[in-house]
Every structure is written in C-alpha cells, then in structure tokens.
Structure 1
Amino acid sequence: MKEDKRINRINLHLNNKELELFKNKAKNYNQMAAMIRDAVAQFNDKGTVKRIESLNKLADLITEFNHEISKQGINLNQITKRANELIYKGELGKEYYEEIILPHVSDLKKMMNNIKKQQSDIFKRLLEI
C-alpha cells in the first residue's frame, strides 16, 4: 500500500453555524477535506504563542511609552513656563538654553529613538513568525 494513500477517516460533528463557516473557508478548495488538511498543516502552536508574546510585549511597550511621554510633557511644560518667566524678566540667555532646554530636548529625542527601535524589533519578530 502506498504511504500517501488516505485510508484513515475522522468523523467530525458540527452545528449549522460551524458547517457554514467550514463551507465558506473551503470555497477556494476542491474539497472541504483538502481545506482542513491544509489548515492543520499550517497550524503552528509555538508560532501562535510567540505572536501572542510579541503582541503582549508591544502592548507593554506602548503603555510604558505613554507614561514616559506624559512625564516628559510635564517637564517640557515646566521648562516652557520658566522660559516665559525669564523672557519677561529679560533674563533668558544662551546659557539657560544650553544647560536646561537643549539637554531635555536631546533626552526626548534619545527616548523616542529607543522606543521606535524597540517597536521595530517587535514588529520584525511578528513578521518572522
């Protein structure tokens, strides 16, 4: 007997809704059995777990990103307020800009680049799975 000959049978009980779902999924196949065999062959439990882990990491990253952006927004508001106060007093100079404003802007830029890299890494892992 040939190895690839299909001699084994599986009985599957479906309700009407499930049967319609199977029929709709099988429209591009010659037989529903071919669709089921293909679906089982493509199913990869480890891949699904990795995708879920990556999605959870992405959700955590986005939450962390939102918290950090909120904190940095508060810092920038305080800096802006102080800068406005100093402008009205005529005391805002190059030194303030270089020592206060520029370092915060630089830190924000680094943080944004780091978050973008982390998100990119997670998206790449999702595509590899």
Structure 2
Amino acid sequence: MVITRFECHGLARLFLVLAMHVRIKREVRRVAKDFLGATTVVLWRERVVLSISLWRRLDGVYDMGGSNRHIVASRRPARLGISTACGIYTYAGDWRRLMFGTAAEADEPLRPIADDLVHTERSTS
C-alpha cells in the first residue's frame, strides 16, 4: 500500500490534485499489471488529500514509471506550492499476532489463499 499526502493550502489546489488523480489512475491501471486500485480521502478542513493505492507486489510500484501522466504530474505539486509526503506500507503479519501477540499464522490478504488440507478441514469442521 502506498499513501501519499498532499497538503494543498487552498480549495483550488485541492480540486486540481483530485482531477489529476482521476486521469492518472486510468493510465496507471493500463500500464501497471500489479496495480489493484486506488482511492482518495479528502480532509476538507485541512485542505489535504490522501491518495491510497494497493499493489499486488511491492516492486509493481515501479511500473508507474511507464505512465507519462504520472511522471509529469509528480512534478506539479512542488511547482504549485503543494507539500507532499509519501510512504510505502507492506504486509507485517497476521492481525492476531500483531495486535495480541498470538502465534497465529495466516495467508497474506493480497495473495490467493492457499488451497490446502488445513483450509478444507476448517470449513468442514
């Protein structure tokens, strides 16, 4: 998951960021095979846009380099006085292990669930 924060400092810039994301998302979907989807969260009072995208594999993010619109658009915020920050968040393990310290094992949610005897036995018990 990639999260990018755009601090727009005004409504006009905020709407510009939203418009750019609509156009860029279409092209990224076309050129990046590991792109699963994206959404934006708008913090209206703060004039902030959070762009959140999901990727099948971490190195799939590099495919955004095949999108000319993304390359051009990535330079615009700084020119418009929009502050940005970006982070990449990867799978850290089963939620029960992370939140409660249990020894739970689970499949990663962005990959197909293993079709083995353990899953079959769970569903028939």
Q: Give the TM-score normalised by the residue count of structure 2.
A: 0.28
Structure of higher CA gyration radius:
1
Q: Which has the higher contact order (CA 8 A, sep 6+)?
A: 1
Identify the structure with the greater helix proportion.
1
Identify the structure with the greater strand proportion.
2
Q: Give the TM-score normalised by the residue count of structure 1.
A: 0.28
